[in-house]
Amino acid sequence: MLNSPSDASFKFMPNTSLCCLPKIAVVMARLKVRGEDFGVVPFLMPLHEDGHLRSGVRVTEIGYKPGFGLDNCITSFDNVSIPYESMLSEGILSLKQEDGTVTLHEESSRKRFLMAMQRVQFGKVCMAVGGLGVGKASLYITSKYGKRRKTFSVEGDVPLVRYHSFSNQLVEYAAGVIVQSFWAFDLGLQAFEYESKRGSIPERLKTEIAISKSLTTWFARDVVVKCRELCGAQGMFSMNKFPGYYAMVNGCITAEGDNLVIMQKAARDLLSTSPELPDRPESPQVADLFDILKENYLSLHSRVGSLLSVKEKSDYFSLWNKASEDMMDMLKSLGAMYAACSAEKSLRNENHHLFLVEIYLLDCIEKLSASMAFQGSVSLDSLRSLQSRKGRLVSERRSEILDLIDQFGLDKVGLKTPISHGDYVEWYSRQHNEGVESARQ
């Protein structure tokens, strides 16, 4: 029998649907046999029968959630019978149908829970990929708009992209989106290989997936917000896509584990072991930047680690709060190293594209410069010269990266908007004239 024992156990947010579409849920529920609790186990559960919700399944609409196609709901269960075969506990525990004997295949209840939750790792990778996809689409639309929209200059009217205040942002964000896409792709492959060959994903990889999901989706949100702004008022209209993208990328930040929460878990796991680092990239123009981030990571790991190494449990929470910003910088340094390594491995043979990794790492270092200066891991003079190096590189590679952004538009139909396709002035004037015509009729 499946039951929601209290109001707090009603599930908020699943995509369980009010309509008659037959849905199948995977419900995470505590397995209790004759009063004994064996922890949380997944159960496969058809929610509908003959076009209606099954008896005992209650689904209620939460309310309007702008920008989403998903019908998220509140869902609860009242004495719903589920067959024995619905329990998805292979490798975790087995339940003998005849007499209810439970055999644990893993003694630690925490480990059993993490095994039951393993599928969420793939969900996290999907959030990262989805977020980066939204980032690429935003850059594509914005770059097209920037090439068409003319504005004044001392040389006469010029397209917006001729202004570096416009195009440098596209260039820097595009480098970040491309590098992090290699990372997300690499993590998806690694997780798939581990699961299919060994049945489980190592903790080290789960930590990296959590860091990647958080850093990529936060980055993608920055891209959407900035691209909206770069498209002016046009960026505010649904037909130009940004309002929908903004809602979607926020969903990626929260779903499959809120970013901040999974980052804190990743920090805790990393701090409980001696630091493990990705291999140093082979390419010299990337390796020196990797070393700077490594230095910052190690310095923060040691600083936060010693701050939290208190004997008294009562002090731990306030120290945790005190260390939380350093923890985030520690993970940002490590995440940038991981992302750069994945991209460098893939681009090593096409040496001419390594500048993307270089720009990404220089950008990460710039964002972490306050932390680095404070740690003393990099001098102020070095930070200034790294900033100039980034400026030079962005200038040299601007047109190449703008060309790469054009290739983000593989799905031309999905990205069709008035400001990214054809002449938007002509599009708006047509709407306007048709509007005048229909008002006359």
Ligand X SMILES: Cc1cc2nc3c(=O)[nH]c(=O)nc-3n(C[C@H](O)[C@H](O)[C@H](O)COP(=O)(O)OP(=O)(O)OC[C@H]3O[C@@H](n4cnc5c(N)ncnc54)[C@H](O)[C@@H]3O)c2cc1C
Binding positions for ligand X, rule: CB under 6 A: 11, 13-15, 70, 72, 251, 254-255, 257-258, 260-261, 264
Q: Which is nearer to ligand X, 96 or 119 (CB)?
A: 119
Residue of 391, 360, 264 lying closest to 321 (CA atoms): 264
| Residue 308 C-beta: closest distance to ligand X, Å | 15
Phi, psi of 173 (to 5 degrees): -65, -40
Distance CA 191, CA 236 (A): 38
Closer to ligand X by CB, 247 or 298: give it: 247
CB of residue 338 to ligand X, shortest distance in Å: 22
Nearer to ligand X, 145 or 218 (CB): 218
* Cα 348 from Cα 344, distance rounded (Å): 5
Write down the residue that tokens 């581990």 correspond to.
Answer: 194
> Could you report how far apart the first and last alpha carbons of the chain are, in Å?
64
CB of 306 to ligand X, least distance (A): 22
The one-character DSSP state at 310 is -
Which of residues 15 and 168 has its CB atom nearest to ligand X in the complex? 15
- Could you give the CA distance from residue 409 to residue 421 in angstroms, rounded to a whole number? 11
When the beta carbons of 129 and 255 are compared against ligand X, the nearer one is 255
Q: How far is the CB of 316 from ligand X (least distance, A)?
A: 14
E strands, 221-366, in order: none
Give the single-character DSSP code of 42.
Answer: E
Q: 174, 401 in Cβ contact below 8 A?
A: yes
The answer for residues whose C-beta is within 8 angstroms of residue 148's C-beta and 6 or more apart is 159, 419, 423, 424
Smallest distance, Å, CB 14 to ligand X? 4
In the 3-class helix/strand/coil scheme, how is 187-199 assigned residue by residue? HHHHHHHHHHHHC
**Amino acid (1-letter code) at residue 433:** N
Shortest Å, Cβ 97 to ligand X: 28
At its nearest, how many Å lie between ligand X and the CB of residue 415? 22
Q: Which is nearer to ligand X, 260 or 307 (CB)?
A: 260
For ligand X, the closer of residues 143 and 216 by Cβ is 216
